[in-house]
Amino acid sequence: MRLPENPALPQNPDTDYAKALNRGLQELLRNVCQKTNGLADGRFASRDLVAASVPTTGMYARGDFVANSAPAELGTAGSRYVVEGWLCVTAGSPGTFVEKRFLTGN
């Protein structure tokens, strides 16, 4: 089930405060619905923890997963793989990460 990306709020608010509140809530709800729909569809752009390489800065907890925003097939014939992302195995700044690989079978 997809969420409506333009949720309806009460129409014709009668004060400036109610009008501003209506606009703010409508924008917030639209962003939440778009993000939720994107995550449900598996869209990469909807994810927050993404990087083109293993993180070198920032605080991470054990179990945090950072998705690879620049996947490419690597390796040699017979052992090709794609790095899906990096999993934090030791918390810290930036923590210790290991690659999560997907074997391509080529």
Number of C-beta neighbours around residue 85 at 10 A: 20
Q: Give the list of residues 6+ apart from residue 73 with CB closer than 8 angstroms, or none.
A: 80, 81, 82, 104, 106
d(CA 29, CA 77): 49
Among 14, 91, 27, which Cα is nearest to 58's? Answer: 91
Tens-digit pLDDT string for the chain (106 aa): 677 777 777 778 888 888 888 888 888 888 888 888 887 877 767 777 889 999 999 999 999 999 999 999 998 888 899 999 999 999 999 999 999 999 987 6
CB 82 within 8 A of CB 104: yes
Nearest to 25 by CA among 8, 12, 47: 8
Spell out the residues 6+ positions from residue 44 whose beta carbon is closer than 8 angstroms to its own: 50, 67, 69
- Residue spans per domain, the chain: 1-46, 47-103
